[in-house]
Amino acid sequence: MTIGVLALQGSYNEHISALRRLGVKGVEIKKPGQLDNISALIIPGGESTTMAKLAEYHNLFPALREFVKMGKPVWGTCAGLIFLADKAIGQKEGGQELVGGLDCTVHRNFFGSQIQSFEVDLSVPELSAQEGGLPSFRGVFIRAPAIVEAGPGVEVLAACPVSLKTTSSKSDADTQEVESLPEQKVIVAVKQGNLLGTAFHPELTADTRWHSYFLKMLAKEDEPAPTTLAVVEGG
């Protein structure tokens, strides 16, 4: 099994290292044709406008959309989550091209700028259920987005206190759009069929449980359809 990691910009090396720690081969994806040789794809964090410009330059968008539509597992972390969203808000100049597929609206810089980056322990029941699972996952949020709207088919895997969104950016028109959110928590990890999205950076921690979770999505997809087995007695 080979996992592709979109390697235009951002933390793709860290994802490849995390996969290696799990004994799985991760390969860099820079061109559309390379998507034909992989079973699943990770779109890393970085800077989504830059990544989108590079993806456009390499004519990757049609192939990425096709990959998502084929039902192959795709995981977007941070800027990668923005890429996968059907809609992004909080963008300065007219927005950027998105791959889409995830029935969500993502606020690009929900938690503020680089200096408002933070770490927090997130409760993630799906991961805690894993063998030997710790009760929480350390989320690393860097200029992090958040999911401000999710469609009915989207499963919420983790949420983060809105209070971690610092108030120093109150004058910023980008963040004002979400000031009125009634919820105390905002969604930061979701799953929708073959798509996984996290607003934080599991690849920057030593904890590989999110990578294992993603690999399990692939294993499920590869499972043969259940068949009725004839029971042979005696022997």
131 is in an annotated binding site: no
CB 208 within 8 A of CB 22: yes
> What does each C-alpha distance from 206 to 19, 150, 202 come to in angstroms?
11, 29, 8
Instruction: Check whether 142 is labelled as a binding-site residue.
Output: yes
The number of beta carbons lying within 10 Å of the beta carbon of residue 97 is: 14
C-alpha–C-alpha distance, residues 185 and 211, integer Å: 24
Q: Which of 15, 107, 201, 211 is catalytic?
A: 201
Handedness of CA 202, 3, 194, 145 (dihedral sign): positive
- Whether 203 is a known active-site residue: answer yes
At 235, the amino acid letter reads G
Residue 76 as a binder of ligand GLN (CB under 6 A): the answer is no
Is residue 82 a contact residue for ligand GLN (CB under 6 A)? Answer: yes
x/- track of binding to ligand GLN for residues 110-129 (CB under 6 A): --------------------
188 binds ligand GLN (CB under 6 A): no
198 is an interface residue for ligand GLN by CB under 6 A: no
| Position 15 contacts ligand GLN (CB under 6 A) | no
Q: Is 43 left (phi over 0), alpha (psi -120 to 50) or beta?
A: beta
Q: Which is nearer to ligand GLN, 35 or 81 (CB)?
A: 81
Residue 78 touching ligand GLN (CB under 6 A): yes
Known catalytic residue at 201: yes
Residue type, 111: F
Question: Which CB atom, from 48 or from 194, has the smaller least distance to ligand GLN?
Answer: 48
State the Cα–Cα distance between residues 18 and 118, nearest whole angstrom: 21
Residue 170 backbone phi and psi in degrees, to 5: -55, -30
Catalytic residue check, 78:
yes
Active-site residue, selected from the candidate residues 78, 104, 107, 160: 78
- Asked if residue 46 belongs to a known ligand binding site, the reply is yes
Could you list the residues known to form a binding site for L-glutamine, using ranges: 46-48, 108, 142-143
Instruction: Kindly list the catalytic residues.
Output: 78, 201, 203
